[in-house]
Structure 1
Amino acid sequence: MNFNWDVILDALPLLLDGAKMTLLISLLGLVGGLVIGLLAGFARVYGGWFSNRLALVFIEIIRGTPIMVQVMFVYFALPLLIPMRIDPVSAAVVTIMVNSGAYIAEITRGAVLSIHKGFKEAGLALGLSNWDTLRYVVAPLAFRRMIPPLGNQWIVSIKDTSLFIVIGVAELTRQGQEIIAGNFRALEIWSAVAIIYLVITLLLSYSLRRLERRMKIL
């Protein structure tokens, strides 16, 4: 079969719409996951016995189950437990939030523990409280070290959105599938989908590397 570039040009608007949805879901999910991850990560480091164990159970459950099972649970099983219907996009965002949150929690824990205790001692010696030392001394240093793994997590989340095809989310992979159902040009369309994913991740990786250099990661 001859490779026809016109097929890709005709399909490009729909594929770009799918790419926008992919980026939206991954970005919203990462922001929510960052909140969840910071809370769980700090609970693992500074929390009491109960909060530490609760965060650990959450992390192990989420990291120990496939993201496809998680989105199927959120979309199909969760509405049976709560009296509300969850639309596919909301289910996708919630799943990315919860899934990335578990991994970000471990990123947070590792970054905080990597900060030398001398920084905390210096903050306390200057008269700062434990909370202010954590807020103004430890947290900013830890966040700098979190940037590379957070970028990696965002890239992983972008690729994970392709699994949401199972619940009908109109992200990039779903759009590609629907286009193929109409024109039967799998070679061109899947090639275009792969290239779009590659361009997104390469641009994101390049931007993150520049950000790391600007912030002079310790």
Structure 2
Amino acid sequence: MFFGVSGASAQVPSAPSNVEGKTFTIGTDTTFAPFEFRDSSGELVGIDMDIIRAVAKSQGFTVQIKSLGFAAALQALSSKQVDGVIAAMSITDERKKVYDFSDPYFDSGVQMAVAKDNTDIKGYADLKGKTVTAKTGSEGESFAQSIAGRYGFTVKPLDQSATMYELVKSGNAAAVFDDYPVLAYGVSQNNGLKTVTKKEAGGSYGFAVNKGQNAELMAAFNTGLAELKDNGQYQAILDKYLKSPQDTVSADSSFWALLVSSMPALLKGLQNTVVVTLISFAFAMLLGLFFGFLKVSHNIVSRGVATTFVNIFRGTPLLVQAFFFYFGLPQIIGQPVNIWVAGVLTLSLNSAAYVTEIVRGGIQSVDPGQLEASRSLGLGYGTSMRRVVVPQAFKIMTPALINQLVILLKDSSLLLAIGFAELLYQGQQIYSNNFRISETLLIVAAMYFIVIMILTKLSNIVDKRFNK
């Protein structure tokens, strides 16, 4: 059986190109097996990954893969954080207004699936009055929306396939619409679903770059794709993931086996979580102290600057700030922003706004008579603050600062939205492949709990030592 494309015409000319020796950054989804997912060793694999790497090898260039999520990958492309996107992306007329597409590399289609034990829903007509789910921005969502009025159901889009399947299994959605190879792979991996409809005619997937840009990369992709089809490597890639069902369970499917196999990736994510938290907290303390002193200054301009800083970063959601620093800032400065830089900027500035208020509150909690007595002894304002007021204020502030450190560590999980490989991000990569969501999240939660308890204990020890 042949899987793939039917020979649709190219979207852009396959002109000769010179990309040998160059390195391109390619954005992709995080969880869309069998097109992109992480195997048991943590390696990003799948049809899309094998194709782009094989094309790169045949055309003499290298690729750096950024696993961001579908929507985030497109935002990264628009902000020029990546050179191209390969993420099982359907070629549509609307998207062709914004992106240039390669020759199609896969012809898809949509199917509907329900929970394995569901015997009530056998077709679209059984969905009246119910809620279904589909992946945001996908062909499945477009198809579901197109028939929702006719069959009387509501569509709830979600960002990840594994999350959609869990919604159906939990009974919070009656069915899921997804690309047929994705559903087939999930069913073969015991995701708890079954397909109940035939495949609907669908569109084609293509590799995308910003319109009018990276013409050499696009030409190289088309040339490489044609070579892969000619030499049989393309079909071998498809057969590897689609021709026969994958092993449905590992040799040992126990919780202990899951813990052991997932621990290397989770520990790497935990390390990133702790490092970004500590770096961000250090910067947040410096900024918080600076703006905190400005807040209690007698200078109205200084107070205004500090108040503006606090209002901006405490009055906007953390996710908005993360997207701005990683996707928006590059468009302003004309340069890509490293994901670590974006993560530290987001966490440190957001946390600094809260630390500023903690510092202000701590200083203002010290009896004003302390400052007046110090000044009456001939000490200057700065010396009085440094030697008399701040040491007392710090004792008052310490519990709140420890709490802010814990909040910062938990907030770091939101960086997964921009593809930062922290602990929860790694957990998502694992359950997107094995579909053991509850067990994986239980392990992740336990790791967060342990680290937070350790940080809290260490902070309390430091507090007792310096605030006797």
TM-score by length of 1: 0.93
**Aligned position for 1:65:** 316
Given the alignment of the two structures, is residue 210 of structure 1 paired with residue 457 of structure 2, yes or no?
no
Given the alignment of the two structures, is residue 40 of structure 1 paired with residue 306 of structure 2, yes or no?
no
Give me the whole-angstrom Cα distance separating, in 2, the residues matched to 1:3 and 1:53.
58
Give me the whole-angstrom Cα distance separating, in 1, the residues matched to 2:400 and 2:258.
37
Contact 1:180-1:189 within 8 A present in 2 as well: yes
- Please provide the CA RMSD for this pair: 1.7
Pick one of 85, 97, 102 that aligns with 2:353: 102
Displacement of 1:47 after TM fit?
4.7
Give me the whole-angstrom Cα distance separating, in 2, the residues matched to 1:94 and 1:62.
11
Larger RCO of the pair (alpha carbons < 8 Å, separation 6+): 1
Displacement of 1:127 after TM fit?
2.2
Displacement of 1:125 after TM fit?
2.8
Give me the whole-angstrom Cα distance separating, in 2, the residues matched to 1:47 and 1:3.
64
Give me the whole-angstrom Cα distance separating, in 2, the residues matched to 1:49 and 1:101.
21
Given the alignment of the two structures, is residue 133 of structure 1 paired with residue 384 of structure 2, yes or no?
yes
Q: Any idea what the Cα deviations from partners look like across 1:122-156, whole Å, max 9, x if unmatched? A: 32233211111111111122122211111111111
Give me the whole-angstrom Cα distance separating, in 2, the residues matched to 1:154 and 1:216.
18
Give me the whole-angstrom Cα distance separating, in 1, the residues matched to 2:254 and 2:363.
51
**Aligned position for 2:269:** 18
Given the alignment of the two structures, is residue 192 of structure 1 paired with residue 450 of structure 2, yes or no?
no
Q: Secondary structure at the match of 1:46?
A: coil
Displacement of 1:119 after TM fit?
1.7
Contact 1:29-1:94 within 8 A present in 2 as well: yes
Q: Any idea what the Cα deviations from partners look like across 1:11-50, whole Å, max 9, x if unmatched? A: 1121111111101111111111111111111111015111
**Aligned position for 1:179:** 430
The structure having more radius of gyration, on CA atoms, is 2
Q: Secondary structure at the match of 1:96?
A: helix
Given the alignment of the two structures, is residue 144 of structure 1 paired with residue 395 of structure 2, yes or no?
yes
Given the alignment of the two structures, is residue 28 of structure 1 paired with residue 282 of structure 2, yes or no?
no
Q: Secondary structure at the match of 1:150?
A: helix
Displacement of 1:88 after TM fit?
1.4
Q: 1:3 to 1:66 in 2, by over 3 A?
A: farther
Runs of 5+ consecutive residues of structure 2 not aligned to the other structure: 1-191, 193-252
Give me the whole-angstrom Cα distance separating, in 1, the residues matched to 2:418 and 2:375.
51
Q: Secondary structure at the match of 2:296?
A: helix
Q: Which amino acid letter does the alignment assign opposite residue 204 of structure 1?
A: L
The count of residues paired between Structure 1 and Structure 2 equals 217
Name whichever of 55-64 and 183-192 sits farther off.
183-192
Runs of 5+ consecutive residues of structure 1 not aligned to the other structure: none
Percent identity reads: 36
Name the structure where helix makes up a greater proportion of residues: 1
Q: Which amino acid letter does the alignment assign opposite residue 103 of structure 1?
A: Y
Q: Any idea what the Cα deviations from partners look like across 1:98-143, whole Å, max 9, x if unmatched? A: 0001000000000000111222123223321111111111112212
Q: Which amino acid letter does the alignment assign opposite residue 100 of structure 1?
A: S
Displacement of 1:53 after TM fit?
0.9
Name the structure where strand makes up a greater proportion of residues: 2
- 1:76-95 correspondence runs (5 A): 76-95=327-346
Contact 1:71-1:164 within 8 A present in 2 as well: yes
**Aligned position for 2:307:** 56
Pick one of 144, 149, 153 that aligns with 2:404: 153
Q: Secondary structure at the match of 1:128?
A: coil
Q: 1:198 to 1:53 in 2, by over 3 A?
A: same
